Amino acid sequence: MSLKDFWKEVLVKIEPTVKRANFVTWFQDTGVLSMEEGKMMIGVPTPFAHDWLKKYHEKQILDMAREIDPQINSVDFEVHSSLKGKDDIRKIDVKKLKTSSTKSVRKISRANEVMLVEGISSKCLNPKYTLDNFIVGSENRLAHASCLAVASNPGGYYNPLFVYGGVGLGKTHLLQATGNSILQTVEDSLVVYTTSENFVNEIVEAIRNSGTKRFREKYRKVSCLIIDDIQFLANKEQTQTEFFHTFNELYDYNKQIIISSDRPPSSLAGIEDRLVSRFDMGMIVDIQFPGYETRLAILQAKCQQNGVIIPREVLEFISENVHNSVRELEGVLKQAIAQSQLENSVPTINSVSKILQKLNKDIPLVTPGIAGVDEGQKIAARVAEDVVTEVSAYYKLSQRDLIGLDRRKEVMMPRQIAMYLIRNELRYSLESVGEIFMGRNHTTVMHACLKVKKLLKVDSKTVRDVNAVKRALGL
């Protein structure tokens, strides 16, 4: 079968599961560029299609492709603007694609699962997740160390291991990496990795077919059971009961259990107390959102892994402005790389700031008057003074000059930065910022903040300076 026919078949499978408008928008003019060693490279016409497909359809495409050819083990996407043109024969015009007219029910695909032994299957572990390529900072050090400990001695002291933290902070990475490591180091090991949704399905199936006792017995053969996102077991009483027994069985046989969740065991509403108390028996570790330094280190590591060189100031800029998750951090970096490849240029602060703008990454402003009132004002006032102190120290100015009326450029800029920090970081109202600076008008403050905000998007020196002051302030 040609690559084109193969892709057509995949698209025919996907079409009934996606809204027509979305299907046409995102799959139009796509094509398979290559298929090597089980890796299917899909060409897409725009960076937007690239990001969308990668984010929302990667797994589905892989599942569908594997239904046709089980040899395929990964898919990736590449932007090829030539696919927009008429002459590229690899692409498919999905508007003309002959698809099923009856919308079939979405099939539950188990294509990315492996059957380990009779009756026990696991989701495939992604080999890209390793304990080595997980960047360690103070926010995730304990979680990483615990995983290392588990990997070197499964079923030992840290059993169960419970890892919790917010979305996109690396839980799945750590869990799968630990599973990968056990597979490599422990001979004949059976590692089962599953999400709690999957686990529910399995238990339901077991209840229907073979009975739960056999299910439990089978699990004894497993060396390590990993359940990702356990919070989704909430209110699934029957599954919890069964999991409780499976847990005990595994635990008694010194089998390693690793669990992740978006919150600590004590906050897991809808999960039986006796299960929660089981989680408490081992090691509980959290992952916090990485601070600036760790974010920067992650970006540098990802650049190195991908063999791309991006100026440090651009990486600093991304670290500074992405605050939600490592996933988002990676996403912005990928977009920056994709875009620069497309334009054959090196990413700049300017180009990255456009990407961030598209993602709506502007710092929200608090309306005047909300921040810094009453009791809060006293505390905040002290902190505002800290900003003045730090900024003047950083620029080697006297504090009087900084807040005073001197209009020389070398004083104006630091002053504007100080105003910006007090307003945006400490959330003072425009009026209160004005007061600190010799009773200046709120429009002056607004003007200063906007100016600094603009500069932060285009000027690496400003980014560096603001970062340095923020770091000194512990912001």
Burial bucket for residue 45 (CB in 10 Å: 0-12, 13-18, 19+): buried
Q: Which residues fall within 8 angstroms of residue 249, CB to CB, at 6 or more apart?
A: 216, 217, 219, 220
Matching residue, tokens 């003019």: 29
Window 170-189: residues binding ligand ADP (CB under 6 A): 170-173
Burial 430-464, CB ≥16 within 10 A → b, else e: bebbbbbbeebebebbbebbebbbebbbebbebbe
Residue 198 lies near Mg ion (rule: CB under 5 A): no
In DSSP notation, 203-266 reads HHHHHHTT-HHHHHHHHTT-SEEEEE-GGGGTT-HHHHHHHHHHHHHHHHTT-EEEEEESS-GG
Residue 135 contacts which entry, ligand ADP, Mg ion, none (Cβ below 5-8 A, type-dependent): ligand ADP
Matching residue, tokens 């390693």: 256
Q: Give the residue with the Cβ less far from Mg ion, 125 or 421.
A: 125
Q: Give the residue with the Cβ less far from Mg ion, 50 or 171.
A: 171
Instruction: Find the part of the chain contacting Mg ion (CB under 5 A) among 57-65, 165-173, 212-220, 427-435.
Output: 165-173
Instruction: Find the part of the chain contacting Mg ion (CB under 5 A) among 122-130, 169-177, 201-209, 389-397.
Output: 169-177
Using an 8 Å Cβ cutoff, are 4 and 31 in contact? yes
Choosing from 119, 168, 291, 404, the residue that interacts with ligand ADP (CB under 6 A) is 168
Choosing from 23, 26, 77, 134, the residue that interacts with ligand ADP (CB under 6 A) is 134
Q: Give the residue with the Cβ less far from Mg ion, 27 or 199.
A: 199
The site for Mg ion, by CB under 5 A, has a size of 2
* Nearest residue relative to Mg ion (C-beta): 172
Choosing from 53, 62, 169, 259, the residue that interacts with ligand ADP (CB under 6 A) is 169
Q: Give the residue with the Cβ less far from ligand ADP, 163 or 388.
A: 163
Residue 417 C-beta: closest distance to ligand ADP, Å: 31
Ranges of beta strands (E only) in 72-130 are 74-79, 113-117, 120-123
Backbone angles phi, psi at 470, to 5 degrees: -60, -40
Which residues make beta-bridge pairs with 35? 40
Q: How many CA atoms lie within 13 A of 172 on its CB side?
A: 14
Choosing from 114, 115, 117, 167, the residue that interacts with ligand ADP (CB under 6 A) is 167
Residue 196 lies near Mg ion (rule: CB under 5 A): no
Sheet containing strand 31-36, edge to edge, reads 31-36, 39-44, 74-79
> Binding mask 242-261 vs Mg ion (x if CB under 5 A, - otherwise)?
--------------------
Residue 172 lies near Mg ion (rule: CB under 5 A): yes
Q: Give the residue with the Cβ less far from ligand ADP, 333 or 349.
A: 333
Interacting residue ranges for ligand ADP, rule: CB under 6 A: 134-135, 140, 165, 167-173, 298, 326-327, 330
